[in-house]
A and B are shown apart, each in its own frame.
Chain A
């Protein structure tokens, strides 16, 4: 995260935190954004009311390794399904996707089937998200090498 002794700099991982769909509650998204910033990530916060196409486009332009979506509207299943299509249209296949918000237990399996890597319902401790994301990025990196 900081300068190493060799003088070369560690490059922070980049994460997009987005609010997708018609849901204006961004307290959770901002808290997670701030937490991840403090963990050393470069966090791109998109703001409210993004469409699945917006999120995919932002992920492409910002070249992020992970997308975190905060959804409290109940529309997580159709929105994530559309997002996966939009990502595929842009050849983004390896980005980590995690979702937070009001996600009923019964929807967790269908979300995972859609390709969601991490699910964090409301009241999840921040450290749980942080540890999970760190592990997930590490896994992808070792797969690549």
Chain B
């Protein structure tokens, strides 16, 4: 069952009306997000209607393997005391089937009791796009910043070993990995494991397997450094809420940086 198609002109008209409206309606954010997702309107079409983005707002990507714990780590972040007074929006992607449908289940990890106006959470079907994230993700996130969200999290679908083609629009990319899918050689390989500003090894309950994380860090340090900054390696457990403080420190440092 489909909801029909949305013409670019109709989408544009409705969106401009929402973005221009002085009166903030509870469904403005939600409706604007739907229109941008469904119409794929590019940023250029709406830029003139957008308010400026706050200088210490952040656009953060949560990515990693399927089942590594992206949603669970994100839930820990949403509950963290240092982020509680910030307005947060989440776009949580899940795969679509070839028939067009999708089971969007990222909400089941969500136990945050934030008030409605401090968290906007949208589950998104990947809809068979050729890219990992929609071509107009910059427009969608710009619209969320227009509605004065302090942090916008984009959670990708679970990625594969060579899928490291994320758009270069993020302030921070967190790559969630686990240690259960291979030995140290897996972590010396290329591709997704090289992606991200922070690599967070999840499911390290009570510090078990921590030696593998240390091997990864040593490998990373031993490789010849080029111009790029090596990813920060963190570890912990979403289940036990361990290691989350370290990740929050990274986020807050970025938020408080002088622009």
A12 CA / B122 CA spacing, docked (Å): 15
**B2 within 8 A of partner (CB):** yes
Q: Name the residue among B38, B98, B99 with the largest chain A CB count within 10 angstroms.
A: B99
Q: Which residues of A contact B116 (CB under 8 A)?
A: 57, 60-61
Verify A11–B101 contact, CB threshold 8 A: no
Verify A91–B1 contact, CB threshold 8 A: no
Number of A residues, CB within 8 Å of B: 38
Q: Which residues of B contact A92 (CB under 8 A)?
A: 27
**B26 within 8 A of partner (CB):** yes
Verify B4–A12 contact, CB threshold 8 A: no
Q: Name the residue among B1, B26, B121 with the largest chain A CB count within 10 angstroms.
A: B1
| A1-26 contact mask (Cβ, 8 Å, vs B): 1 or 0 | 11010001111111000000000000
Q: Which residues of B contact A36 (CB under 8 A)?
A: 101
Verify A2–B30 contact, CB threshold 8 A: no
A109 CA / B153 CA spacing, docked (Å): 44
How far does the Cβ of A49 sit from chain B's closest Cβ, in whole Å?
10
**B209 within 8 A of partner (CB):** no
Q: CB within 8 A of B101: which of A4, A43, A61?
A: A43
Which residues of B in the span 87-114 have a Cβ within 8 Å of any Cβ on A? 96-105, 107-108, 110
Output the nearest chain B residue to A66 by Cβ-Cβ distance. B1
Q: CB within 8 A of A40: which of B2, B31, B34, B108?
A: B2
Verify A10–B2 contact, CB threshold 8 A: yes
How far does the Cβ of A142 sit from chain B's closest Cβ, in whole Å?
11
**B6 within 8 A of partner (CB):** yes
**A107 within 8 A of partner (CB):** no
Q: Which residues of A contact B102 (CB under 8 A)?
A: 12, 37, 42-43
Q: With contacts A10-B5, A12-B3, A63-B27 known, what are 15 further pairs, Cβ within 8 A? A: A10-B3, A11-B2, A11-B3, A12-B96, A12-B125, A12-B127, A36-B101, A39-B99, A42-B102, A43-B102, A45-B104, A61-B29, A63-B30, A63-B122, A92-B27
B interface residues with partner A (beta carbon < 8 Å): 1-6, 25-27, 29-31, 33-34, 38, 96-105, 107-108, 110, 116, 120-123, 125, 127
